[in-house]
Every structure is written in C-alpha cells, then in structure tokens.
Structure 1
Amino acid sequence: MAAGAKTARPSWHRSSIGTVGAIGGLYVAQSVLGGLTWVGLPAVLREQGTDLSTIGLVSLIALPWALKFLWAPAVERYRLPHHGGDRSALVVLAGIAVVVVSLGILGALPAAGLPWIFALLSIAALATATVDIACDGYAVQNLSKASQGWGNTAQVGGAYLGSAIGAGLFLVLVDRGGWALGTWTVAALVALLSLPFLLHARTARFTGERTHLPSLKAALKRPEIRRGLLVAGVYILAQKTSFNMVAPYLIDRGVSLATVGLLSGTASIVLGIAGSFAGGWCVRRFGVRPVLALALLPQALALGFLSLSAFTEAIPVWMIAGTALMATSGVMAFGFVALYTQFMRWSDPRQAGVDFTLFQCMDGLVSLGGGAAAGFLAQHLGYDNFFAAAAMLALLAVPAVAVATQGGTGAAPGAPRPA
C-alpha cells in the first residue's frame, strides 16, 4: 500500500446505527431488482413455456456486475475527489433514477417481449452495479471494525429481504394483477428504499486532502486481494450454481406461480434474515474460516435431497420446497455474511469501492457462467443428475476454501476506519 497517504475522515460523529440503516436500505433496494430478474423472471418465463436453456440466459443480465471493476476506479475517483466532500449520494441518485425509468418502460411493454426485457433489465443492472460500487466503498469507509458484523448482516440480510420482495411480491402481483402492476411496484419500492441512504450520505462532510489514487493496479498488487479472488471464485461456484434452476424445478413439479412467489417471499425473508444474523453471530464467535466451511455442508445435503426428489415422485412437494428454500435462503445467507466480512477486512478504505468490487465481480463472473451452464446442464442431464453434481461440487469446495483462507483472515493494511 502507498505510504504516507492522508486519509479523509469524517469531521463529525456518525452513528453506526444510522450508517448500517442507510446502507441496509440501499442493499434491499438493489436486491429487489435482483429478485425480479433472477428469481421472478425465470418463473414467469417458465409458466409461459419458455425452455430451460433460454431461461438460463437470464444470467447474462448479470454481465455488468461481472465487469464493473472496469469502471470502479473512475467511480471511486469521482466519489472521493482530491479536494471536497464525498459524492456517494450523487452517484446513487443518478443510478437509482436510471433503474426507475427502465422499470417504468419495462412495465409498459408486454411480458412476452424477451429482447426488450433483456435490454432494459441489462440497463438497470448496469446502473445498480455502479450504485453498488459507491455503496460498498461508503460502507467500508464509515463502518468501524466493531460494527462490520452489523454492516455485513445488513448487507446479506438486506440482499435476501430485497430478493424475497422482488421475487415473491413481484410474482404474486403478476399472477393477480398483471405484468405492469408487478414491474411498476418494484420500481416504486426501489426509489423509496434508496431514500435513507441519500439523506444520510448527502450530509457527509470531510476535511483534509486525499492523495491516494484509486486503481486496479494498486489493488492487484496486494496478496489479500489475489487470495480473496480465489476464495470468491470457489465459494460462489459451490453456492450459486443451482440457484437459477430452483424456481423452474418447483414449477415443473406442479407448484403454482403464486405459490412459488409466496414461498420465495415470506419464507425467504424469514430464513434469509435468520441465516444472516446467525452468520454474523458465528463470525464474531468463531471467526470467518470455520463459518465459510460449515455453510457448504448443509448446502451439499440439501442439493443431494433435491437430486433424490427429482429421481422419484414419492417425496412430497412441501418437503422439496422447504429444502430448496433452506438451501437458497438460510444456508446461503449464513455463509455469505462470513464471506463479505472477510472481503471488507481485505479492502483498503482509501479505495474500498475498487477492492470490494473486484471480489463482487468474481461473484458476478462465476454466477454468470455457472447460471448459463446450469440451464444447459439441467435441460440435457435432467434435474436429478444436475442437483447431484451441484452437491458434489459443494463438498469438494470445503477443503479448497479451508486451505485458501488459512492464515489469511487478517485486516487489510491501509487507512484506519472510524473508531
């Protein structure tokens, strides 16, 4: 890291509760759109008879999340200028405006217009990816090490809450009131949930001079970043490979669109928030490394059960749905709190938007490739073999993650965080 850099510090006291609440609301807002895109949309398309291979292409909408490291340094340099105040609120305001307009146009178009759906949701994904750079950087800067656990609980819990709303409420509204009602409601929620961050971040005042220039080169020079990218790739591949195929599988087992929406909503909220709080407590109690490994074991068991359920029709649908929700909500949230806590500790506060973005881009790249492959594999191998392979992958990831994180969970050297 560059030595002797002056770091801008808040010139006034910032409440940890206020900061956690502000970033939590924005994480929920971003994830509402994600829930619509990666859970709600596949279910709607499947009910309309779209084949699984096409549904798998929905993962390509995540391309901006995989590539946002390319413009993260520019965003960070604008957000943290050499002189002057933090511009996080301006970045977020512009991005959210693009999302709301895109969803407004999308709701006015027919749900069967796949090219338009993909194009508009890709624009919205580009905007939210840019917003996320600013939000993550703001979080790492303003959360003390003591409050990181709450910050990551808000991040992961907010992600599941938003995804549950975006998937569950969206599907129920589409089923009861149509495509336009569901899409426009999501647009309104994104705008409302972003307000706490905009109000909180716009009042930030900084003194001093920033001499560190955020860059990818500075990030990739650090061994913590390179190790983190390896951990992210292995862990995301094991946890998310089967995610996009869960809702289509339930639809194919005879579960109605509204029921999938209700389960994805209510159950995901409860399990996701419970898993994130449990993960936060376990990280503080036992550390990051054991929690990362522990979360993969129940994930493998759940995927093995889904494989068995696809092989025989003797297993009740309610058991299948419950297991699927536990794997994609509670267990995943539990592990991701540990993963994001480590990412935050490895990030330099002087360019946190760049460092944290690199980790998330690995998430996006693996999710993109794995999601597209998942649709192809499920289509040609069948659900039973597909879920069995995903379970084996989760088991193999346990020793890989344990070795990769051994002795590498310390804090990143760099500018001090708020006390």
Structure 2
Amino acid sequence: MTVTVAARGRTMPTLAALYVTQYLGFGFITVGLASILRSGGTSLDTLALLNLIGLIWPVKFLWAPILDRYGPRRGGHYRSWLLVLQSGMVLALLALLAADPATGRLGPIVLICALFVFLSATQDIAADAVAVRMLADSVRGTGNGIQVAASYVGNILGGGVCVVVYDRLGWQAAVGLLAALTATGLLVVWRFREPERIARPAGARQAYGALLSVLGQPGCRRWALGVVPLLYMGAGAAYGLVSPALVDAGWSLQRIGFVTGIVTSVPAVVAGLVAGGLVDRIGRAGVLVAGGGSLAVATVLLLPMLTGRAVGGFTTVALCCFMAAYTVANVALYTVNMDYSRPGTGGTDFTVLSSFGLVCSYLAAALGLTAAARVGYPAVAVAAIVLILAGVAVGVRHQRRFRPATGPAPFPEPTGSPGQRSDEHGVLAPAGEGHQVADVLPAQHPHAAQHPGVGIGDRQ
C-alpha cells in the first residue's frame, strides 16, 4: 500500500514523541534513580543490579518477530502494539509512586524498573517497525537523526530534570511528572493513523526466520559482521574507560553522572539533528567518515583524562566532542540498518542489526577494561582508535559497492540465492550490477524503510 505524503509528514512528530517518552523512564532509571539511591546510601552492588536490567535491550530481538507477526489489521498493526506498550509504561511508572526508596524497600523498585525496561524495549521494536514502513529513502537520514536526538532529550528530562524535581519536591512529584510526560506519547499514538498493513509473515516460523534471512541480502553480512562490530567495539572500548578513569582521577560519582549523563547529551541532540540532515544531503558514507573521523580525534582528546589529568573544563569538552561525534556516526549506521530492514519484518530486521551493535559495545567495554588492567588506559584507547578507523574504511568501501534500492518491499522474501534477489523486494543492490535504482519501480513508490541506550552502541 502506498503511504501518502501527508501520512509521512505526521510520522516525524510521532516518532519523536515515541522516542522521547521511551527514554524518559530509561534516563531516569539509569542516571537519575542511580543518583537518588546513592544519595540515600544504597550500595554500589545494588546500583550495579539496576544497570543489569539494561541487558534486556540487547536481547529484545528474541521477541521482535512476535510483533511483526501478530496484531490486528484494523486500527493499525503496530499502532495497536504501541497503544498497549505505551499504556503499560505509564502504569509501570505510576506503580513507582508507591515504591518510595526512602522506605528502604528496594526490591519492588527493581522489579518495577525491570518491567518498565522490558516494555520500553518492546515499544522500541514497534516504533522502529513504524519507521521502517513510513520513512522514504529521501528522509531516512532525517528520521534517524530525530530518533537519536529524541533519545537524548528523553535522557536529559528523565535523568536530569526529574532529579531536580525530586530534590525540591520529593519522590511522588518526580515520578508523577515522569508518568505525565510519558503519557503524552500515548496521546500522540492515539491520534496516529497507520496505513493498512497488507504484507506480514504467514506464521511464527516464517517471522522468526527473518532473524537470519535479513543477513542474506546483498552486502548485509559484510555490514553487520564487519562495519558494525568494528565501529561499535572501538567506540564501546573507548567509552568504557571513561567512568573508571574519572573515578581514578578523583571525580565524585555525582559529578560523573551529571557530566556523562546530562551535559554530554546536549551537544549530542544537536549532532543527531545535523547528522540526519547531512545523510539526506551528502549520503551515508560522507556522514560515516565525518562521524568516525571525529570520533577518533575525540578519543585522542580523552588521553589526558586517561593518564590521570582530568581537568574539569577540558575533560568535559572532550567528552562532549566524543558523544557528538559518536552520535553522528551512529546516525549513519542506523540509516544503513534501515536500508536493510524490510517492511514486512521491519521490527525484527532493524532490531537484529541494532542489537548486534549493542552486544558488540558491551563486550568491547568489558574486554577493554580487562586489557586496561594489564596495559593501561592509553593503550586500550589507541586500539579503540584503530578499530574505529578500520570500521570507517570498511564502511566506505561497503557503501561504494552497495546502494539502497527503492520501492516497496513486501513479505515474503523472494526465492533464490541472496546475491540474486530481485530489486522489487527492496534489498540493497550491488552498485553497477543488475538494474539501476531508477529502473526498479516508478518514482512515486519510494522504499519505506527505517535508541537507549543503556550504553554506547544503542541510539545513544
């Protein structure tokens, strides 16, 4: 079904609202709540348990096919999911009203937070699927920029503003504000009209088959198993050194949380919006080079901090540069992930590709800290720079060979070998091989395709 221009015009505000409200609670849990609990004397072991809740996000691909397969045709397939999930997020936050940490009973807080993270991770699948269906190739970069920037806005509000409200007005006021802001996303979804979904997997087995078949598209393995790991492992290894290095340099936990969770999010918002527009103007490869190159330079700027000279002003600027550069690169990465996401299984495809990057960043952060204990922070940072630059080089080569094809991409997938997929199914076609993009389908049928991050490697 052709998605009208008017429908696409309403998509951007809808996506922005979904991602802002999604990260409101996430920012509060991972940044704000940690500060609140720590100020009340909660042990670091308990705070670590809160961070473990974030591991729900990397494994959300396990239930993504369920959202692609099941859902009512009337009222909007993914819209129906979003109404349920957004309502659940609001109810989970309202449940926190009765779980004041001042009582000392942290068990209910952890359980409710885990439920919220599960709901927000699942909402992310549905939101990504909507983007896959609604975003044309010409605005894919802008859509990604808005999504990434919105996640940082949610982090600022949830991890910063709500903490200020807590400090002045108490727990109920802070959580009540959080629930009210999240409810605005529910109103936006209620007004959103999703075009009728014609193509979807015929059964659960076919839906789960998309977990692997997405990699069968031309160039997707090279992208997902080459470019993505190199860039995310480089960025993850570098960023994983930040908090330990700042602690070693004498920074307080509160100061670290404020700078890394709030201050650095501001330039990241701007970077996300700018990068999104640039993707649509100069292409994925150009933005990848700009973001990856800047990320390597920003990692060099972190070296004084990593050697124990964490001067407040310079270190803060260096961290802001790092997050802004990472955001630019991330927008380019997510745009290519959208290129490989098929509208029939958009939630699964995009989730698989983005989750793999998140897992890589987690592993790199852990391995980087282990290596740092033996060779020191600077050596790990240098290795991270090498990985980032290698990822950029492989990514540029990939983009020269593979280009996004246009046209609708219905389910099911065509038969034949991955390298022989026909263009009408919206896969990436090797540049210079087969039909040219203009020969595939009429121009009025653009290919509809499409972060929190708990850490680097997600939208943040």
User: Is the 1:168–1:260 contact (alpha carbons within 8 Å) kept by the matching residues of 2?
Assistant: no
Tell me the residue number matched to 2:132. Answer: 140
> Does the C-alpha gap of structure 1 residues 377 and 211 become closer, same or farther in structure 2, counting only changes over 3 Å?
closer
- Give the drift of 1:91: 0.7
Between the aligned residues of both structures, percent identity stands at 28
Distance 2:262 2:9 in 1: 26
Distance 2:88 2:378 in 1: 37
User: Pairwise mapping of residues 141-156 of structure 1 onto structure 2 (< 5 A)?
Assistant: 141-156=133-148
Tell me the residue number matched to 1:229. Answer: 224
Tell me the residue number matched to 1:280. Answer: 276
- RMSD across aligned C-alpha pairs, in angstroms? 3.5
- Give the drift of 1:56: 5.2
User: Pairwise mapping of residues 116-127 of structure 1 onto structure 2 (< 5 A)?
Assistant: 116-127=108-119
Distance 1:274 1:398 in 2: 23
Q: Secondary structure at the match of 2:101?
A: coil
User: Is the 2:92–2:112 contact (alpha carbons within 8 Å) kept by the matching residues of 1?
Assistant: yes
1:287 maps to amino acid:
G
- Give the drift of 1:152: 1.0
Counterpart among 25, 29, 32 of residue 40 in structure 1: 32
Tell me the residue number matched to 2:213. Answer: 218
User: Is the 1:224–1:346 contact (alpha carbons within 8 Å) kept by the matching residues of 2?
Assistant: no
Deviating more after overlay: 206-215 vs 61-70: 206-215
Q: Flag as ranges the 4+ runs of structure 1 deviating above 6 A.
A: 49-54
> Does the C-alpha gap of structure 1 residues 98 and 229 become closer, same or farther in structure 2, counting only changes over 3 Å?
same
Tell me the residue number matched to 2:265. Answer: 268
Whether 1:410 aligns to 2:430 is no
- Give the drift of 1:366: 2.9
Distance 2:391 2:255 in 1: 39
Provide, for residues 157-183 of structure 1, a one-character-per-residue CA deviation record: whole Å limited to 9, x for no partner: 111211222222133233334444433
Distance 2:272 2:373 in 1: 33
User: Is the 1:9–1:206 contact (alpha carbons within 8 Å) kept by the matching residues of 2?
Assistant: no
Counterpart among 351, 359, 366 of residue 357 in structure 1: 351
User: Is the 2:237–2:384 contact (alpha carbons within 8 Å) kept by the matching residues of 1?
Assistant: no
Whether 1:318 aligns to 2:313 is yes
Distance 2:307 2:154 in 1: 33
Distance 1:254 1:48 in 2: 19
- Give the drift of 1:224: 4.0
- What is the aligned length? 401
- Give the drift of 1:77: 1.1
Distance 1:250 1:15 in 2: 47
User: Is the 1:86–1:206 contact (alpha carbons within 8 Å) kept by the matching residues of 2?
Assistant: yes
TM-score (norm 2): 0.74
Distance 1:30 1:37 in 2: 12
> Does the C-alpha gap of structure 1 residues 259 and 389 become closer, same or farther in structure 2, counting only changes over 3 Å?
closer
> Does the C-alpha gap of structure 1 residues 151 and 63 become closer, same or farther in structure 2, counting only changes over 3 Å?
same
> Does the C-alpha gap of structure 1 residues 177 and 371 become closer, same or farther in structure 2, counting only changes over 3 Å?
farther
Distance 1:244 1:57 in 2: 18
User: Is the 1:144–1:418 contact (alpha carbons within 8 Å) kept by the matching residues of 2?
Assistant: yes
User: Is the 2:246–2:256 contact (alpha carbons within 8 Å) kept by the matching residues of 1?
Assistant: no
Q: Which runs of 5+ in 2 are unaligned?
A: 406-422, 427-444, 449-460
User: Is the 2:96–2:112 contact (alpha carbons within 8 Å) kept by the matching residues of 1?
Assistant: yes
Q: Secondary structure at the match of 2:6?
A: coil
Q: Secondary structure at the match of 2:403?
A: coil
Tell me the residue number matched to 2:325. Answer: 331
Higher RCO (C-alpha 8 Å, min separation 6)? 1
- Give the drift of 1:49: 6.3
Distance 2:366 2:162 in 1: 23
Q: Secondary structure at the match of 1:347?
A: coil
Distance 1:43 1:242 in 2: 24
Counterpart among 325, 340, 348 of residue 342 in structure 2: 348
Distance 1:347 1:151 in 2: 14
Q: Which runs of 5+ in 1 are unaligned?
A: 1-7
Counterpart among 80, 84, 91 of residue 90 in structure 1: 80
Provide, for residues 103-145 of structure 1, a one-character-per-residue CA deviation record: whole Å limited to 9, x for no partner: 2333423166554443322211111111111111111111111
2:347 maps to amino acid:
G
> Does the C-alpha gap of structure 1 residues 370 and 208 become closer, same or farther in structure 2, counting only changes over 3 Å?
closer
> Does the C-alpha gap of structure 1 residues 9 and 49 become closer, same or farther in structure 2, counting only changes over 3 Å?
same
User: Pairwise mapping of residues 80-229 of structure 1 onto structure 2 (< 5 A)?
Assistant: 84=74, 86-107=76-97, 108-110=99-101, 113=105, 115-200=107-192, 203-206=193-196, 214=207, 215-229=210-224
Distance 1:39 1:241 in 2: 20
> Does the C-alpha gap of structure 1 residues 102 and 181 become closer, same or farther in structure 2, counting only changes over 3 Å?
same
User: Is the 1:275–1:331 contact (alpha carbons within 8 Å) kept by the matching residues of 2?
Assistant: yes
Distance 1:324 1:128 in 2: 27
